[in-house]
């Protein structure tokens, strides 16, 4: 009893059952509808088999006209009713299928959107997400495999039950006819052939499953390389660097490997299947002989020969299929484990409850507040190197801080920590003397309008991109776009704020340049109107005139806000109250432009190096 309980518990906790329960919760009608559909889709042949046997037996026996008419009517009307039900169920199943797909996809996306940011960026978790989607979309492993196998199992269960019922009828009749030693011999032979057949099936399945995995891996590699070669975006480089030959060579190599694995797979499958077919035909012959002999002995009418031989064949077939199904489910379990492990990722970030004081949230706070990094060090998850080391900096809310330094010196990481996309590995970040982890997370995020270097816009209408929402305050959006230097382009847009960006969802969508995209991203930050305005190389993609215009209106843009500004253009940092110079993860200098230029150090080195190229402009 205890052993049974343990087994049941393990079964209940099995990843496949967990996944099925999860999908059932997402769309409760899916599996019951599919079970009903499996029944009605497969009922008709058995129904016809049973009644046509009755009709033939009647024709060869009593020939009672009334009974014959009734039998024919039942067969025709019964099949009609089954077919109508079947159609209705089929439509309902298709609908449930769409619902389940949508809800499951939404659940997956929701999980991704609510992951701690550090998990979202983590290479391991990105790899896990990619593996899950690739295996599902390309190889059909994971979710699709389990669902289709379970539905297949339902169909086989229907075959099994119906053919078992018909076979039982046959065995009752045999029993009534009387026991004979050769009938027993037949049964033993039949059972032995069944057992051999099912054993060979499971061996064959095991043998080819590793090759099927190889095919799957090859498909993924092929797809990854094809996905990586974006002919549209790489078109210029491919032509200018004459890379077409190289790409075709890589592709050919992949295709050759893929063809070779496929060839091996199908040869092996053929060799495996050949004895299975032979035994299958042998069993079928045995069954026919057995049923026909009993018919000769008067156990049943000639019309029942097809009925019983078919039902025994189906019974054995469904048992063999259960082995197939079991092996498919077992082979797929590791993909389901991967799938569930994604949903199981915990949110580890400590979420405080202290409300963010409202002064921060309105323009022109009274500037009594300060942000402080206290001995902050940070390592990216899985990385040995510190991206930031012993950062100590304090700045007044309402002031302007410029962050400068060479590539990889830790500027963006500093911003990510300030916005609490990551928590420090060591040290504390304080806002007004309180560790930022203690603030309500959603409210804390509201404090920041950030334009990251690698910002992304969506293929949505311009207004929605600026508002980052479906509801758009048109006046505010237009004002933000104007401040960001986008007003002229807005006037040219066919549907104004309603104009779709890019052509993914709308063929009338507009393509925008990198500079225009940066202006829209800036407008999005302005629209949000947060008290902290953080700009990471906000003018990198802008032409000199647009850059000049942005600087001109910068006072207006950051008025009353705390501005943190990352730029390689040191000249553009001069208007900041304070400059922090980063070098290899540390702050090596702080001060104003004038004080930093007056002393030996990193800032002066960078400034002198740049000034050579901007002599006219800067000096
Ligand atoms: P900067 O903005 O000054 O160019 P970053 O803050 O982007 O520099 O990067 C600082 C260091 O952290 C670099 O060595 C970079 O390779 C590393 N780094 C940045 N992002 C990640 C990440 N997601 N995972 C691991 N290391 C990262």
Atom of ligand 1 nearest to the CA of 413: 6
Which residue minimizes the CA distance to atom 10 of ligand 1?
410
Minimum-distance ligand 1 atom for the alpha carbon of 585: 10
Q: What is the pLDDT of residue 368?
A: 63
What mean pLDDT do residues 28-39 have? 97
Percent of the chain exceeding pLDDT 70 equals 90
| Dist CA 588 CA 601 (whole Å) | 8
Of 114-118, 290-294, 401-405, 443-447, the one with minimum mean pLDDT is 290-294
Residue 161: its pLDDT value, please? 96
pLDDT (tens digit per residue) in 480-496: 999 888 888 888 887 89
**pLDDT value at residue 28:** 97
Give the three-state DSSP class for 529: coil
Q: What string of H, E and C letters represents the secondary structure of 534-562?
A: EEECCCCCCCHHHHHHHHHCHHHHCCCCE
Q: What are the percentages of helix, strand and coil residues in the chain, rounded to 5?
A: 65, 10, 25
pLDDT of the residue at 187 = 78
Arithmetic mean of pLDDT over the chain: 86
Query: Ligand 1 centre and the CA of 462: distance in Å?
Result: 31
What percentage of the chain has pLDDT greater than the value 90?
39
Do you know the residue count of the chain? 619
What are the pLDDT digits (tens) for 295-309? Answer: 888 888 888 888 889
C-beta separation of 371 from 431 below 8 A: yes
Instruction: For 373-397, write each residue's pLDDT tens digit.
Output: 999 999 998 888 999 999 999 988 7
- Give which of 420, 421, 433, 427 is closest to 370, Cα–Cα: 433
Residue 335 and residue 245: Cα distance in Å, rounded? 36
Mutate to test the pocket of ligand 1, among 376, 412, 421 (most ligand atoms within 8 A of CB): 412
The closest-lying atom of ligand 1 relative to the alpha carbon of residue 406 is 3
Distance 386 CA to ligand 1 centre (A): 9
Cα of 518 vs centre of ligand 1, distance in Å, is: 21
Higher per-residue confidence, 321 vs 254 = 321
Domains in the chain with CATH codes: 12-343 (1.20.1560.10), 456-529 (3.40.50.300)
Q: Please state the φ and ψ torsions of residue 145, each to the nearest 5 degrees.
A: -60, -45
Q: Determine the residue of 380, 404, 602 to mutate for testing ligand 1's pocket, defined as the one with the most ligand atoms within 8 A of the Cβ atom.
A: 380
- Nearest residue (by CA) to ligand 1, atom 24, is 380
The per-residue b/e assignment along 329-362, b for 16 or more CB within 10 angstroms, e otherwise, is bebbbebbbbbbebeebeeebeebeeebeeebee
Residue 587: its pLDDT value, please? 96
Position 430 confidence tier, pLDDT thresholds 50, 70, 90: very high
Taking CA atoms only, the protein residue closest to ligand 1 atom 15 is 408
Give mean pLDDT, residues 513-535: 88
Pocket test for ligand 1, best of 384, 408, 425 (most atoms within 8 A of CB): 408
Q: Which residue has the higher pLDDT, 224 or 444?
A: 444
Q: What residue owns the CA closest to ligand 1's atom 21?
A: 380
pLDDT of the residue at 8: 67
Query: Closest Cα to atom 5, ligand 1: which residue?
Result: 410
Q: Which pLDDT belongs to residue 619?
A: 40
Q: How far is the CA of 414 from the centre of ligand 1 (A)?
A: 10
pLDDT at residue 615, rounded to an integer: 53
Across 8-22, 123-137, 405-419, which has the greatest mean pLDDT? Answer: 405-419
Ranges 113-127, 331-345, 355-369, 549-563: which has the least confidence: 355-369
CA 387 – ligand 1 centroid, Å: 6
Give mean pLDDT, residues 497-526: 87
Non-local (6+) Cβ contacts of 108 within 8 A are 342, 343
- For ligand 1, what atom is nearest to the CA of residue 407? 4
pLDDT tens digits, residue range 207-265? 777 667 767 776 676 666 666 666 666 777 777 787 788 888 888 887 887 788 778 87
Between residues 516 and 203, the one the model is more confident about: 516
Centroid of ligand 1 to alpha carbon of 452 (angstroms): 13
How much is the pLDDT for 30?
A: 97
How confident is residue 607, by pLDDT bands cut at 50, 70 and 90? confident
Q: Which of 169, 161, 189 is nearest to 319 (CA)?
A: 161
Say how far apart CA 49 and CA 231 lie, in whole Å.
57
Ligand 1 center to 410 CA (angstroms):
6
Mutation pick for ligand 1 pocket among 387, 421, 424 (CB with most ligand atoms within 8 Å): 387
Question: Which residues, judged by CB distance below 6 Å to any ligand atom, belong to the binding site of ligand 1?
Answer: 121, 380, 383, 387, 405, 407-413
Q: Which atom of ligand 1 is nearest to the CA of 566?
A: 2
Rounded mean pLDDT of 174-186?
74
At residue 366 the predicted structure's pLDDT band, cuts being 50, 70 and 90, is low
pLDDT in tens, 542-559: 777 777 767 666 667 777
Quick one: pLDDT at residue 617? 46
Rounded to a whole number, what is the largest CA-CA distance in the chain?
119
Determine the pLDDT at residue 70: 95
Q: What's residue 160's pLDDT?
A: 95
Report pLDDT for 226.
67
Task: Quote the ligand 1 centre to 392 CA distance (angstroms).
Answer: 19
Q: Judging by beta carbons within 10 Å of its beta carbon (0-12, 13-18, 19+), is residue 279 exposed, middle or buried?
A: middle
Residue 521, C-beta contacts closer than 8 angstroms, at least 6 positions apart: 451, 455, 457
pLDDT band at residue 73 under the 50/70/90 scheme? very high
| pLDDT at 227 (0 to 100) | 67
């Amino acid at each position: 009893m205890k052993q049974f309980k343990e087994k049941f518990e393990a079964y209940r906790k099995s990843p496949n059952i967990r996944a099925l329960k999860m999908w059932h919760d997402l769309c409760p009608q899916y599996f019951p509808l599919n079970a009903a559909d499996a029944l009605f889709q497969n009922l008709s042949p058995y129904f016809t088999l049973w009644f046509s046997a009755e009709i033939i037996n009647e024709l060869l026996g009593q020939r009672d006209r009334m009974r014959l008419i009734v039998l024919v009517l039942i067969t025709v009307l019964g099949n009609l009713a089954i077919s109508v039900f079947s159609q209705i169920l089929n439509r309902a199943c298709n609908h449930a299928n769409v619902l389940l797909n949508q809800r499951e996809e939404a659940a997956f996306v929701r999980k991704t959107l609510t992951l701690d940011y550090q998990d979202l960026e983590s290479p391991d978790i990105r790899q896990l997400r990619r593996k899950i989607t690739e295996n599902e979309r390309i190889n059909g492993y994971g979710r699709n495999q389990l669902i289709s196998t379970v539905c297949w199992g339902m169909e086989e269960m229907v075959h099994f039950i119906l053919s078992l019922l018909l076979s039982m009828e046959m065995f009752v009749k045999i029993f009534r006819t009387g026991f004979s030693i050769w009938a027993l011999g037949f049964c033993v032979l039949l059972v032995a052939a069944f057992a051999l057949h099912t054993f060979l099936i499971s061996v064959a399945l095991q043998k080819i499953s590793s090759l099927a995995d190889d095919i799957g891996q090859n498909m993924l590699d092929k797809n990854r390389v094809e996905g990586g070669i974006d002919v549209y975006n790489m078109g210029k480089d491919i032509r200018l660097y004459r890379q077409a030959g190289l790409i075709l060579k890589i592709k050919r190599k992949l295709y050759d490997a893929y063809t070779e694995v496929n060839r091996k797979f199908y040869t092996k499958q053929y060799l495996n299947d050949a004895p299975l077919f032979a035994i299958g035909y042998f069993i079928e012959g045995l069954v026919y002989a057995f049923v026909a002999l009993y018919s000769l002995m008067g156990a049943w009418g000639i019309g029942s020969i097809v009925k019983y031989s078919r039902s025994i064949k189906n019974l054995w077939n469904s048992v063999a299929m259960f082995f197939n199904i079991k092996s498919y489910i077992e082979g797929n379990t590791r993909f389901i484990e991967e799938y569930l492990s994604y949903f199981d990722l915990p949110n580890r970030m400590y979420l405080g409850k202290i409300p963010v004081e409202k002064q921060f949230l309105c323009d022109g706070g009274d500037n009594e507040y300060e942000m402080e990094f206290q001995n902050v060090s940070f390592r990216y998850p899985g990385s040995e190197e510190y991206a930031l080391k012993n950062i100590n900096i304090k700045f007044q809310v309402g002031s302007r801080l410029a962050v400068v330094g060479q590539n990889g010196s830790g500027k963006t990481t500093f911003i990510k920590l300030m916005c609490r996309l990551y928590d420090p590995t060591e040290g504390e970040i304080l806002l007004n003397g309180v560790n930022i982890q203690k603030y309500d997370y959603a409210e804390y995020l509201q404090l920041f309008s950030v334009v990251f270097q690698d910002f992304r816009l969506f293929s949505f209408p311009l207004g929605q991109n600026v508002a980052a929402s479906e509801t758009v305050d048109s006046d505010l959006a237009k004002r933000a776009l104007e401040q960001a230097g986008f007003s002229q382009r807005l006037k040219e847009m066919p549907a104004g704020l309603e104009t779709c960006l890019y052509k993914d969802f709308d063929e009338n969508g507009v393509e925008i340049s990198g500079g225009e995209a940066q202006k829209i991203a800036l407008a999005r930050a302005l629209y949000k109107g947060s008290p902290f305005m953080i700009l990471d190389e906000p003018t990198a993609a802008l032409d000199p005139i647009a850059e000049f215009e942005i600087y001109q209106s910068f006072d207006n843009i950051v008025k009353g806000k705390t501005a943190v500004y990352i730029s390689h253009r040191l000249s553009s940092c001069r208007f900041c109250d304070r400059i922090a110079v980063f070098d290899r993860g540390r702050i090596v200098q702080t001060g104003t432009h004038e004080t930093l230029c007056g002393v030996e150090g990193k800032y002066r080195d960078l400034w002198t190096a740049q000034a050579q190229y901007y002599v006219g402009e800067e000096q």
